[in-house]
Amino acid sequence: MTDRPNVVIIYTDDLGWGDLGCFGSPYIETPHLDALADRGARMTDFYVNSPVCSPSRAALLTGRHPAHAGVETILPAGRTEPGLPAQSTLPGTLRDLGYRTEIFGKWHLGVDPSFAPTERGFDHHLGFRAGCVDYYSHIMYWGGHNPLHDLWSDQDEVWRNGEYLTEVISQEAVAFIEDCDQPFLCYVPYNAPHYPMHAPAEAMARFDHLPWRQQVMAAMISCVDDGVGAIMDALQRRGIADDTIVIVSSDNGPSAESRNWLNGEEIAYDGGSTGGLRGHKGSLFEGGIRVPTIWSWPAELPAGQVIDTPAQMIDVLPTLLDFLGVDVDPAGRDLDGRSIADLLRGGSVSEIDLTWAYNEQRAVRRGRWKLVRDPAEKLGEPSSRQELLFDLETDRAEQFDVAAEHRQQAADLRAVLDAWEVSLTDWRSAGAGTARV
């Protein structure tokens, strides 16, 4: 093992907990992702820190809760829109350690050039800066502005009309891996399977036995799986696959937005799968925040693991630093996540409370118990004014409120949420970027 392994992070968009073969999908075939899971750890209780895209991505790249990082909502698309405040990031930290850091795909942490990926620690970006684009024209159709072309190579707008974006992202990542002559971070945030629902004819043909809504979802995810296979092949050709840390996850749960339909009907879409979990994108129920996650590093991590210990996206940065032998908690560091390196090596980590905030919604998980306050079922739906306690060990689908039977657990978690509210207020008052890693 080298003391500076390469890092590949594959981040999907709106991929549900039940949308991969290795997470139980009955109809989506993902052989490359399944093989990757067999080479490492499949984490069944891994969470994003927000049920929507921009805050989730901010948490991944900063190791901070969204309110601490300064991004709590879905960011707009205009070309002068700001984004992630200046602060230490994973790519910036690795670049300081001698890594080449590049991103291929979706940014969604600021469209204005001063908030571009190259201003937040990346050496190069090929992809788009806003929330979603047409997969072939790379134009965004959303909100109260004219259609917006959004494909960039660093600060230069580029035009690759007619090229399927999932394939472009994969090809660019592979070319980088093949040519890079130093340790690298290759961040691959695919926009699939986010709407609009586009897939090549060949991929659609693989699933022509399915109803359209499932067919197109399966085809889009299959194209991501093809890209993962190409990336792994590139690592194998270079002889560095065993000593490359590969992480696969999603920014939130599957979307039930009517925009997925592409046919003008304002009805909910159900192509993505939560694997039986309650809620969708935009919800602090499990379906909105529990995401399929894989870690692979054959040189260090046991193969074939299934880990059900809860962990979260803000743990990625401190875990990677731990793997690289960098002190995770020196004086002045201000991270909210913690290293789960021992857990991934086959050991354990101490139990901690996991907390979430999105709009009016709040949630906390402690072991088997989860308290949800003012939840919503999906993006765009108003929060319901209620507080619910669930036993996830017996009720993973969050169907039965057991607060009346377990008053002490409810009271304990209620106190955690009250303290969490104070932390949120403090972060918002201080502003993001006040501390440096």
SS3 371: strand
Confidence (pLDDT) at 183: 97
pLDDT tens track for 22-67: 999 999 999 999 999 999 999 999 999 999 999 999 999 999 999 9
Residue 437 inside a domain? The answer is no
The Cα 136–Cα 199 span in angstroms is 10
- Domain with 399, as residue range(s), is 354-430
Do 302 and 180 lie in one domain? The reply is yes
The residue type at 261: W
| Per-residue pLDDT at 434 | 40
Same domain, 118 and 262: yes
> 324: closest CA among 307, 341, 348?
341
Q: Check whether residue 12 and residue 83 sit in a common domain.
A: yes
Q: The CATH number of the domain where 384 resides is what?
A: 3.30.1120.10
Based on the structure, what is the number of domains in the chain? 2
CB 190 within 8 A of CB 106: yes
Domain endpoint, select from 344, 378, 396: 344
216 vs 193: CA distance, rounded Å: 9
3-class state of residue 290 by DSSP: strand
- Kindly report the CATH number assigned to the domain that includes residue 300: 3.40.720.10
Q: Contact 208/264 with Cβ under 8 angstroms?
A: no
Residue 152 forms part of a structural domain: yes
CA 400 to each of CA 277, 310, 311, 378, 404: distance values in angstroms, whole numbers, following the listed order: 13, 21, 24, 19, 11
Say if residue 237 is in the same domain as residue 93: yes
Ranges of residues in the chain with a pLDDT under 70 are 1-2, 143, 261-268, 330-332, 432-437
Tell which of 322, 344, 366 closes a domain. Answer: 344
- Residue 1 belongs to some domain of the structure: no
Q: Is 394 found in the same domain as 299? A: no
- Domain boundary residue, one of 319, 344, 369: 344
